[in-house]
A and B are shown apart, each in its own frame.
Chain A
């Protein structure tokens, strides 16, 4: 197990390196720092001095990969690549356009993001798995048919509609909870309840339908027939046998997103004014803050790889056939 984990962790390094190279190429090779400076300072009436100043302030005035001007290790370290990309591996993301330290900002914003994403995830998983089991229990009946139709219809509605509609109905018309905002501590519940409910509802359609297919596939297998032949009742078959065996394909899709919960949700956070990582990203995109976007890309892919490893570990818990000792 340990050797397997170590191998997986080592395999993550070239992938992170690749991500790093891709983002570096996107941000510094496709466009030169001069282009970015002109973009930030306004295309017209910009002096070369202003561009130079902008570049020096942000450390973009160095060469890309190799710096022949300095001697020793500086040839490699005193470059944009080392300062901006390689430093990400030790958690140093530099400063945002407004001068704040990105690493610190990310630490501050993880909490609110998790406060929304974690309840949405757990509640959503519970609701969708129960619905899917219900549909599987009533398979090939009108309830099943109309349930699937409802799922497809719910999938076809834009996520923006759920948010805008929910905010309008609950916050503006009924005045049950504030439209947007955030509070620290237990007071936060009234700001969190609406985004969580909307998050769950907007995900119900697609996931329920997917889990239903997984359950139905499982129900068609021989061991289920055996279980029924033994005289077990349908609920026992569903909960004791089908649900447990369907956990493997469900886990594949679910565990991988758990680390990504830290990143928060772009839309929900920006509509509800929650100071999490999602709204941080949106603000950065809209302000064209390249440093922040680069940092988020790196963290996002790191978390995704962590999710893949977690998925593998979780298999050993639900499927005793899978072992990584070899």
Chain B
């Protein structure tokens, strides 16, 4: 084998979540009210536009969740096979040029020369050597230009234009494909379904998906065309490409936003439903538990727990065989802690709703028929709580992504070696004091985080409107 597959814990969990999410989605499709709600989400233009953007982020995150260790080149046939200590992901393999072509230090976006002057020995015409302070050429940024640095603007423009043209072509191709596919399903001509799509008269908001896709292609393709030979978003202090860091940050944000729910959901659903259904001393105990936990200010509880986790990790170095494993476990521990501190709100909501539900006639009828409590909980109560759970899930996601950045700034976030929006911002904020300022790292991190969180927030709004029975009828 050319490589050794590595299954990090967070990989396993994120793939588990992706599969479980698909299965749950399929299951909820069989439930009529939920299916109607998903239909409402699908017909919302905002919802589908943000979902398209989110799925691009998700794709990057999933690609970055397949890890392996490349095989080291061995000298002879008889030597044992050795694998590198470095754990890479599929995304690293695809983005290999971004990962490996590191400069010495800072360089501005699309620059061909370094950001700071350096002394370089220059040989004069008469053979004498003297030192000169110049901005040295970058090793990789714009290296293909050779000595024609002046042609950079022309080169960039040419690439952007051709990539833009390609984007329009692709968009046309995709929308053509969609309209043919729709036409076959609905027994109309492709031309008719094309018009239906762009007039926004299809049930599913195809026009929003296609326009978002087009906008994404218009931005991404030029970036991809440029990133092969330039550092599109510049390089950071150790010369690493900022665009590569952005790609890697996406996975960290997704893990924080998604894996945390694995902890919150069982606790919130289990305890909330039990408290609301059985009442009495069960309710008292569970209420006491969540009042106590929620009375500790979130950041402080997280800080205390993370500090303790750091002590455990630092005093047990023998548990981790690679640095990636340690960083990964720390990320999971952070998710675990975030989950433990954030289930109380949802639990309270579910308890209240269960209290209401258990007084309804159909539950009392089931009880009168002698249906077992567990069966009532699973068959009659839980399905009627799902809309609250789904709403809470999508609403929490964006908050968790934002929280990661703050926690990493405070020093209780992810491992400092793990690339995330928080560590990027944290490393870059010191550089604002430099003259002239290094702004690109910070700006890129904020911009991409904004795009991710905005898409998640908009999607959450649409989901809430579609699933909340109070607002569902209105739209």
User: Complex formed: what's the CA distance from A296 to B297 in Å?
Assistant: 9
Q: Is the CB of B411 within 8 A of A286?
A: yes
User: Complex formed: what's the CA distance from A281 to B410 in Å?
Assistant: 10
| Residue A285 lies at the interface, judged by CB distance under 8 Å to chain B | yes
Q: Which residue of A lies closest to B405 (CB)?
A: A158
Q: Given that A156-B453, A286-B411 are known contacts, is A35 also in contact with B311, CB under 8 Å in the complex?
A: yes
| Residue A38 lies at the interface, judged by CB distance under 8 Å to chain B | yes
Q: Which residue of B lies closest to A260 (CB)?
A: B297
Q: Is the CB of A168 within 8 A of B409?
A: no
Q: Which residue of B lies closest to A297 (CB)?
A: B300
Interface of chain B, main secondary structure: helix
9-residue interface stretch from A25-33, A88-96, A123-131: A25-33
| Residue A301 lies at the interface, judged by CB distance under 8 Å to chain B | yes
User: Complex formed: what's the CA distance from A30 to B333 in Å?
Assistant: 14
| Residue A14 lies at the interface, judged by CB distance under 8 Å to chain B | yes
9-residue interface stretch from A159-167, A192-200, A230-238: A159-167
9-residue interface stretch from B108-116, B135-143, B454-462: B454-462
Q: Is the CB of A18 within 8 A of B288?
A: yes
Q: Select B296's contact among A156, A158, A281, A297, beta carbons within 8 Å.
A: A297
Q: Select A305's contact among B295, B304, B425, B458, beta carbons within 8 Å.
A: B295
Q: Is the CB of A152 within 8 A of B292?
A: no
Q: Select A158's contact among B288, B293, B412, B449, beta carbons within 8 Å.
A: B449
Name A15-53 residues within 8 Å CB distance of B: 15, 18-19, 22-23, 26-27, 30-31, 35-36, 38-39, 43
Neighbouring A residues of B300 by C-beta, 8 Å = 281, 293, 296-297, 300
Q: Select A267's contact among B303, B409, B458, beta carbons within 8 Å.
A: B409
Q: Select A285's contact among B301, B307, B421, beta carbons within 8 Å.
A: B307
| Residue A204 lies at the interface, judged by CB distance under 8 Å to chain B | no
Q: Is the CB of A152 within 8 A of B410?
A: no
Neighbouring B residues of A39 by C-beta, 8 Å = 310-311, 314-315
Name B284-318 residues within 8 Å CB distance of A: 288, 291-297, 299-301, 303-305, 307-308, 310-312, 314-315, 317
Cβ of B315 to closest chain A Cβ, rounded Å: 5
Q: Which residue of B lies closest to A267 (CB)?
A: B406
Q: Given that A160-B406, A160-B425, A267-B406 are known contacts, is A22 also in contact with B315, CB under 8 Å in the complex?
A: no
| Residue B432 lies at the interface, judged by CB distance under 8 Å to chain A | yes
Q: Which residue of A lies closest to B458 (CB)?
A: A152
Mask, B415-431, CB within 8 Å of A = 1, is 00000010001000100
Q: Given that A293-B304, A301-B296, A304-B297 are known contacts, is A15 also in contact with B291, CB under 8 Å in the complex?
A: yes
| Residue A138 lies at the interface, judged by CB distance under 8 Å to chain B | no
Name B366-416 residues within 8 Å CB distance of A: 398, 402, 405-406, 409-412
Q: Is the CB of A288 within 8 A of B307?
A: yes
Cβ of B62 to closest chain A Cβ, rounded Å: 23
Neighbouring A residues of B432 by C-beta, 8 Å = 164, 168, 172
Q: Which residue of A lies closest to B302 (CB)?
A: A285
Q: Which residue of A lies closest to B425 (CB)?
A: A160
Q: Is the CB of B303 within 8 A of A156?
A: no
Q: Is the CB of A290 within 8 A of B410?
A: no
Neighbouring A residues of B450 by C-beta, 8 Å = 156-158, 161
| Residue A153 lies at the interface, judged by CB distance under 8 Å to chain B | yes
| Residue B168 lies at the interface, judged by CB distance under 8 Å to chain A | no
User: Complex formed: what's the CA distance from A22 to B446 in Å?
Assistant: 36
Name B242-293 residues within 8 Å CB distance of A: 288, 291-293
Name B426-475 residues within 8 Å CB distance of A: 429, 432, 442, 446, 449-450, 453-454, 456-458, 461
| A: contact size bracket | 35 or more
Q: Is the CB of A159 within 8 A of B292?
A: no
Neighbouring B residues of A177 by C-beta, 8 Å = none
Q: Is the CB of A38 within 8 A of B315?
A: yes
User: Complex formed: what's the CA distance from A27 to B304 in Å?
Assistant: 8
Q: Which residue of A lies closest to B439 (CB)?
A: A168
Q: Is the CB of B305 within 8 A of A26?
A: yes
Neighbouring B residues of A19 by C-beta, 8 Å = 292, 295-296
Q: Given that A31-B311, A168-B432 are known contacts, is A15 also in contact with B295, CB under 8 Å in the complex?
A: yes
Q: Which residue of A lies closest to B401 (CB)?
A: A158
Q: Which residue of B lies closest to A278 (CB)?
A: B299
| Residue A263 lies at the interface, judged by CB distance under 8 Å to chain B | yes
Cβ of A180 to closest chain B Cβ, rounded Å: 12
Cβ of B48 to closest chain A Cβ, rounded Å: 16
Cβ of B430 to closest chain A Cβ, rounded Å: 11
Q: Select B454's contact among A23, A152, A270, beta carbons within 8 Å.
A: A152
User: Complex formed: what's the CA distance from A26 to B293 in Å?
Assistant: 13
Mask, A243-275, CB within 8 Å of B = 1, is 000000000000000001001001100100000
Neighbouring B residues of A22 by C-beta, 8 Å = 292-293, 296
Q: Given that A31-B311, A35-B312 are known contacts, is A301 also in contact with B288, CB under 8 Å in the complex?
A: no
Neighbouring B residues of A294 by C-beta, 8 Å = 304
List residues of A whose CB falls within 8 A of some B CB.
14-15, 18-19, 22-23, 26-27, 30-31, 35-36, 38-39, 43, 152-153, 155-161, 164, 168, 172, 260, 263, 266-267, 270, 281-282, 285-286, 288, 290, 293-294, 296-297, 300-301, 304-305, 308
